A and B are shown apart, each in its own frame.
Chain A
Amino acid sequence: MFSYRIPLRQWITTVVEYLERELGPAFDGFSAFVYFLVDNLKEGMLFLPPIVLILLIAALTWYMAGWKNSIVAFLGLLLSENIGLWEAFVETLALVLSAEILVVTVGLPLGIWSARSDRFNSILRPILDFMQTMPAFVYLIPAVMFFGLGLVPGVVATFVFALPPLIRLTNLGIRQVPIELVEAADAFGATEMQKLLKVQIPVARPTILAGVNQSIMLGLSMVVIAAMIGAGGLGEDVLRGIQRLQVGQGFEAGLVVVILAIILDRITAGLGVRKNAAK
């Protein structure tokens, strides 16, 4: 239709290359930090004998979500160990947890900020829409450019993908705090910080924790995709199953992902309702 083609791809490439060149040291530093985080988590969990970690996770599930869920978790974890996917399981767990730590560190303040500033919120919202609708595979390219191959770009891609729901739900939760509660705090002479810490965040807690839950689930869905850039873990086994058309192997790994998803979902869903529930 037109003889002129907008050089969009050149622009993007230029920007990403420019960032890579200019911010290289910063990316390296960040990369080292993420590696430190995820590697320690992984090694720490692998250091324990499988049965100890299985019992610990089952106990945590019991505490957060009751004995029925705990039994499901316990049996599921035993199965994972039995079919030889224990190390992959731990690797994936470390990846998801590291990504979630980053998500909470970044997402919570951004969510709070956008709840307090309509202007910031109106800037942030289209960015979040963009982040959520962009196919997850696309994140892999810059992640690899900035962080190379391996666990770190996997964590970063997962982080980017899982960030929006926490920001959105934190924003929503704080905005939904009844106006009278905020007025009451103001009327007693609360500072902005007191209002935030003693009223807004505690009251928004269930919604914020629903955001944490959502972002963990999204993070898990990124596991297989992240395996494409060498993040390892269960995703790698699924990928191998695809490449070699080994349906059994692929399903086994997929099943363990489901088990992990169930456990993380029950535990984090429990967080939201625990304290506010009236006896």
Chain B
Amino acid sequence: MEDKITVKNLSKIFGNNPGKALEELRKGKSKDDILGEMNHKVGVHEVSFSVRKSEIFVLMGLSGSGKSTLLRLINRLHEPSGGEIIIDGTDLTKLNKKQLREFRRKHFCGMVFQNFAILPHLTVQENVEFGLELQSVDKETRAAKALEVIKMVGLEGNENSYPAELSGGMQQRVGLARGLAVDADILLMDEAFSALDPIIRRQMQDELLEIQDRMQKTIIFVTHDLDEAFRLGNRIAIMKDGKIVQVGSAEDIISKPADDYVKAFVEDMDRSAILTAASVMHPPEDTAFIGDGPRTILRKIRKKGLTGILITNTRKELKGYVRAVELADYINQHKDSENIPMDEKLIHETAATDQNTPLSDIINLYTEHEYGPIAVTGDDNKLKGVIVKGAVIAALSESYSHPENGKSLDKNL
């Protein structure tokens, strides 16, 4: 996928002489030394990453990790102390004030803030029109566009309300709509949902995903909430002390944490919601073809030491599951015949799922279907892999906490 934003060695040091502090930092001085000796605070230190077009990229970290500073560096609300920010081929750090303003208008959908930052003296409609008004868009176009996004975020009927009359969730919708109204494609969100109560927050996350489906903006989302990061992020960057510790999908981060810090972070995550079928399935080696004939199939089952086997046709399309016990009985009944045909009744329907199904849903499949492993299939019904119970349990147990003492059973995994 195409890179929309590329950040190279980006740094931000707060103080009178950031250049000097950066130099000292490069020479190997620690952040604490810089703070102690020079009284300069290192906000972001030589960070590099890229954001792909139309993805939600989450910057995740505890407070003071530099995530909000990094977000503000990307549109130069904070002046970088060093490094490059390249958006659609333009290096933002090289622009003068006027060019930067033009660039912001063309490329950034403003910003969405934790405390909404909508204007108290304007109505919802006027607030949503704000970005367009700055660009001197004419009144009719402005109103039409505003109405369109007001509908999109579900604020219809509140166009003429003032922010003070709205709940927190609704105010944040105004903030979001204000960003979406502008004809630009990068949306920066700073702890956008952190001030909302959990149920509303969840709802807003869902709506953001829904809107993103339609709008396909490139979103950089800052949060300190891991659940939120994993729910929203196509990719997540975990930050610590002004640096990015790891960038990857939720699954990457859960299954291959880069260091102990990340590991400690993700320890308490509900893994079943994040890990998907793809991460626990085995390649479908142990399958039989429907044309193989009962004896061949049974031999195959016995050889592998299984209790049954998945059946496909020659195009690898899933047909069902055959149990060894039933198959053996069937063969016994027909032991005089040279060539017995396969009986359709022997092929049981089996649980099938696609690669992106989270484990939490897969567990339910086990309770619904009596026999066999779970088949993982693609859109074309072709078999992609097999999930056996053991693999699911193993994947989940990596973070399993004992209900009685609350301690992780296996810290080393």
Interface residues of A (CB under 8 A from B): 178, 180-181, 183-191, 194, 198-199, 202-203, 205, 275-276, 278-279
Q: How far is the CA of A205 from the CA of B188 in the complex (A)?
A: 29
Known interface pairs A188-B104, A189-B134. Does A202 touch B121 (Cβ–Cβ under 8 Å)?
Answer: yes
Q: Is there contact, CB below 8 Å, between A189 and B108?
A: yes
Interface, chain B (partner A; CB < 8 A)? 72, 75, 77, 101-105, 108, 110-111, 113-115, 117-122, 130-131, 133-135, 162, 164-165, 182, 188
User: A183-B72, A194-B134 are known contacts. Are A278 and B165 too (CB-CB below 8 A)?
Assistant: yes
Min C-beta distance of A30 to chain B, whole Å = 36
Given A178-B115, A276-B120, A276-B121: A187 and B165 interface contact (C-beta under 8 Å)? no
Task: Tell me whether A199 and B188 are in contact (CB under 8 A).
Answer: no
* Chain A residue at minimum C-beta to C-beta distance from B165: A278
Chain B residues whose CB sits within 8 angstroms of the CB of A189 once the complex forms: 101-105, 108, 134-135
CB closest chain-A residue, reference B135: A189
A178 touches B162 (CB 8 A): no
**Cα of A173 to Cα of B101 in the assembled complex, Å:** 26
Q: Which of B118, B131, B162 contacts A188 (CB 8 A)?
A: B131
Alpha-carbon separation in the docked complex, A113 to B122 (Å): 25
- Return chain B residues, CB-CB under 8 Å to A181: 117, 119
Give the residues in chain B near A178, CB-CB below 8 Å. Answer: 115, 117
- A186: nearest chain-B partner, CB-CB: B77
Bound Cα distance from A176 to B101, whole angstroms = 24
Inter-chain contact A278/B77, CB cutoff 8 Å = no
Given contacts A183-B72, A189-B105, A194-B134, contact A203 B119 (CB under 8 A): yes
* Cβ distance A183 to chain B, nearest Cβ, rounded Å: 5
Question: In the bound complex, what is the Cα–Cα distance between A225 and B326 (angstroms)?
Answer: 113
Q: Tell whether A183 pairs with B131 under 8 Å between CB atoms, given A188-B108, A278-B165.
A: no
Q: 7 new A-B pairs (CB below 8 Å) besides A180-B113, A191-B134?
A: A183-B111, A183-B113, A188-B108, A188-B130, A189-B101, A189-B105, A189-B108
Given the interface contacts A194-B134, A198-B134, does A187 sit within 8 Å of B121 by beta carbon? no
Given the known interface contacts A194-B134, A203-B120, the answer about A184 and B111 at a Cβ–Cβ threshold of 8 Å is yes
Nearest A-chain residue to B78, judged by Cβ: A183
Shortest Cβ distance from residue B209 to the other chain A in the assembled complex, whole angstroms: 23
A279 touches B121 (CB 8 A): no
A72 to B115, CA, bound (A): 42
10 smallest beta-carbon distances between A and B, as pairs: A189-B105, A278-B164, A189-B104, A180-B117, A187-B111, A188-B110, A188-B131, A184-B117, A187-B110, A180-B113
Chain A neighbourhood of B118, CB < 8 A = 184
Q: Look across to chain B and name the residue whose beta carbon is closest to the beta carbon of A195.
A: B134
Which B-chain residue is minimally distant from A205 (CB atoms)? B121
| A residues in contact with B105, CB < 8 Å | 188-189
Assembly CA distance A185 to B108 (angstroms): 12
The docked-state distance in angstroms from the alpha carbon of A186 to that of B72 is 11
The residue from A180, A187, A276, A279 contacting B108, defined by CB atoms under 8 A apart: A187
Q: Report Cα–Cα, A53/B131, bound state, in Å.
A: 45
Q: A202–B135 Cα gap in the complex (Å)?
A: 19
Instruction: Kindly report which residue of chain A lies nearest to residue B103, judged by CB atoms.
Output: A189
Cβ of B77: which chain A residues have Cβ within 8 Å of it?
Answer: 183, 186-187
Q: Which residues of chain A are within 8 angstroms of B165 by Cβ–Cβ distance? A: 278-279
B134 contacts which chain A residues (CB < 8 A)? 185, 188-191, 194, 198
Minimum C-beta distance from B412 to chain A (A): 44
Taking the closest CB of chain A, its distance from the CB of B406, in whole angstroms, is: 39
Report Cα–Cα, A238/B383, bound state, in Å: 102
In the complex, A190 Cα to B119 Cα: how many Å?
Answer: 14
**B residues less than 8 Å from A199 (CB atoms):** 119
21 A–B contacts, CB within 8 A, in A order: A178-B117, A181-B119, A183-B72, A183-B113, A184-B111, A184-B113, A188-B130, A189-B101, A189-B103, A189-B134, A189-B135, A190-B101, A190-B134, A202-B121, A203-B120, A275-B121, A276-B120, A276-B164, A278-B164, A279-B162, A279-B165
Q: Which of A187, A191, A198 contacts B133 (CB 8 A)?
A: A198
Complex: A10 Cα to B302 Cα, angstroms: 118
- Residues of A within 8 Å of B104, CB to CB, are 186-189
C-alpha gap A184/B412 in the complex (Å): 45
Would B121 and A184 count as touching, CB distance under 8 A?
Answer: no
In the complex, A190 Cα to B111 Cα: how many Å?
13
Which residues of B sit under 8 angstroms from A279, Cβ to Cβ? Answer: 162, 165
A194 contact set on B, CB distance < 8 A: 134
> Which of B103, B117, B130 has the most CB atoms of chain A within a 10 A radius of its CB?
B117
> Within the assembled complex, what's the spacing in Å between the Cα atoms of A180 and B117?
6
For residue B102, give the distance in angstroms from its CB to the closest CB of chain A. Answer: 7
Please, how many angstroms separate the alpha-carbon atoms of A202 and B123 in the complex? 13
- A51 shortest CB reach to chain B, Å: 37
User: Shortest beta-carbon distance, B321 to chain A, in Å?
Assistant: 56
**Which one of B101, B165, B188 has the greatest number of beta carbons of chain A within 10 Å?**
B101
Determine if B101 and A191 form an interchain contact, defined as CB atoms under 8 angstroms apart: yes
Closest chain-B Cβ to A247's Cβ sits at a distance in Å of 49
Q: Which residue of B lies closest to A185 (CB)?
A: B134
